Every structure is written in structure tokens, then in C-alpha cells.
Amino acid sequence: MIGVFQGPVPQSREKKGRADREGFSAANQGALQRRLKDLLVAQQTRLDSYLAVLDKQYAAIEHGETEVILFYVELEEKIGRELFSIQKAVLPLDKLYRATKVQWIDITALKAILETRKEEVGVRLKRNRDLLAKQMTLLRSQIQTLRTSPLRRTSVYASAGIPSCLDIRL
């Protein structure tokens, strides 16, 4: 017959992947643990620097230093991108880690520390956002006060009154 495959039937990818995950060797588990731990420590370092930036940003907002605030916002975005790229690398490793069904104490502790750091970041972001909103409200009210101030210059023709006739010459 033409077109008939003669030979062993290959296993599907799903079955092979499942068998590979169950058959992790001790060396593979150790390498996975080291890599995951390195990434989690890098993530913790970035979160610590993010917290420091948020504290400095808060001080800049309090003092109304717009250029400094802009600098810290740009730095915050850069750190956020780094955290995102690390998280993209952590997710597949974390899936593999959970698939091994072996829990290492240091990785579990690192995950707990990261969760508390993430909560701190959320609290400080909210604090900075609230302070910035308060400062912007204050600035808007000051601008409105300046617009309606009696010290505002008036036109030299304002006291001339309303014109009563119009002279048109050709």
C-alpha cells in the first residue's frame, strides 16, 4: 500500500511531557531549584529598589518638585518592566517546581517574602497616588484663585463703558 506508515507509532507530546515531569532526576531538581531561587532573589532585589523609589517619589511629591517626580516615574516604569520580564521567566519554572511535588523551604520562604513586598508596593503606590491627587487638587484651587483674583490686571478700556454709537467712515 502506498502512503501507509510502517513503523512504531510515536507517543503524543502530552504523554511524553508528563513522563518527563514525573521522571525529574535529583540533578534536574537541584538545577531547577537554583535557577528558581536566583530569579526569586532577583525579583526581591527589584522590589526592594522599587520600594526605595516609591519612598523618594513620595518625598518629591510632598515638596512639589515636578522634575524629580518625573524622573522617579520614569525609573519606576523601568523597574516595572524588569519585574515583568523576571516574572515571565519565573512562571514556567514555578510550574515545573510545583510539578516536582518537592517543596524546598528556602523557595517557600522567598515566595512569602515576595508576597509581603508586593503588598508593601501596593500600599505605597496607593499612598503616593493619594498624595499626588491631593497636591493636584491644591494646585487647581490655587490656579482658580489666581483667575478670579481682584489683583488681576484689567483692560485700560474697561472703565470706558459700553459704546453707544459706531462711526464708520469709508
Domains and CATH numbers, the chain: 25-143 (1.20.58)
Torsion sign across C-alpha atoms 77, 83, 88, 91: negative
Distances (CA, A) of 108 to 33, 37, 39, 40, 93: 11, 10, 13, 10, 14
pLDDT at res. 15: 43
Q: What is the DSSP secondary-structure string of 59-80?
A: HHHHHT-HHHHHHHHHHHHHHH
pLDDT at res. 14: 44
pTM over 0.75: no
pLDDT in tens, the chain (170 residues): 344 434 444 444 444 444 344 455 667 777 878 888 888 888 889 999 889 989 999 998 888 888 888 888 888 888 888 888 888 888 888 887 777 776 777 778 888 888 899 899 999 989 999 998 998 898 888 888 877 766 556 666 666 777 777 777 87
CB 100 within 8 A of CB 24: yes
C-alpha cell at 157: 478700556
